[in-house]
């Protein structure tokens, strides 16, 4: 279950990886999309891909690799979005990530739950420029941005 829990993330989100974005250039000479300052869900598909490459991957990959370098040595789009990412499908939440039951999280290692709660979740919310979920803010970014609940397909 440790490996399954580590697939969590992140992160509601996302339309990631895939196509090469057009526009401004980087130091390496590769084209880079200039992103507008709008919420993620207001970006078009190419901009969402660019956002994931420019903003999410540089933050999330080191968090995952630091947690388990062996497990996440190949960290990429498929880590959160599943194998479907190879075909350009980035739907979130991802029903193939470990399913959550907030009444009983005993199937997960405490270390992994703490990592998700204290590192992954706040980092993803910050990258997305969204407030975190709380009882006072139930519309904030939370676990169910990436995961589904037990009992759901």
Give buried/exposed letters for 58-96 (b at 16+ CB in 10 A, else e).
eebeebbeebbeeebeebebebbbbeebeeeebebbbee
- Note if the pTM is more than 0.85: no
Q: How far apart are CA 148 and CA 130, in angstroms?
A: 19
Residue from 73, 15, 67 nearest 44 by CA? 15
Q: How far apart are CA 82 and CA 105, in angstroms?
A: 22
Q: How far apart are CA 81 and CA 101, in angstroms?
A: 20
Mean pLDDT by groups of 10 residues along the chain of 153 residues: 36 36 47 86 92 96 97 94 90 94 96 97 94 94 95 78
């Amino acid at each position: 279950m440790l490996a399954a829990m580590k697939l969590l993330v992140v992160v509601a989100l996302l339309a990631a990886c895939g196509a090469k974005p057009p526009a401004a250039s980087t130091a390496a000479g590769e084209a880079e999309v200039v992103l507008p300052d709008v919420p993620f869900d207001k970006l078009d598909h190419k901009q969402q891909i660019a956002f994931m490459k420019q903003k999410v991957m540089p933050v999330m990959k080191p968090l995952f690799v630091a947690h388990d370098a062996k497990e996440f040595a190949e960290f990429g789009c498929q880590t959160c979005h599943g194998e479907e990412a190879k075909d350009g499908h980035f739907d979130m939440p991802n029903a193939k990530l470990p399913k959550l039951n907030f009444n009983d999280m005993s199937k997960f290692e405490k270390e992994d739950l703490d990592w998700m709660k204290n590192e992954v979740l706040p980092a993803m919310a910050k990258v997305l420029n969204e407030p975190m979920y709380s009882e006072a803010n139930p519309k904030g970014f939370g676990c169910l941005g990436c995961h589904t609940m037990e009992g759901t397909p």
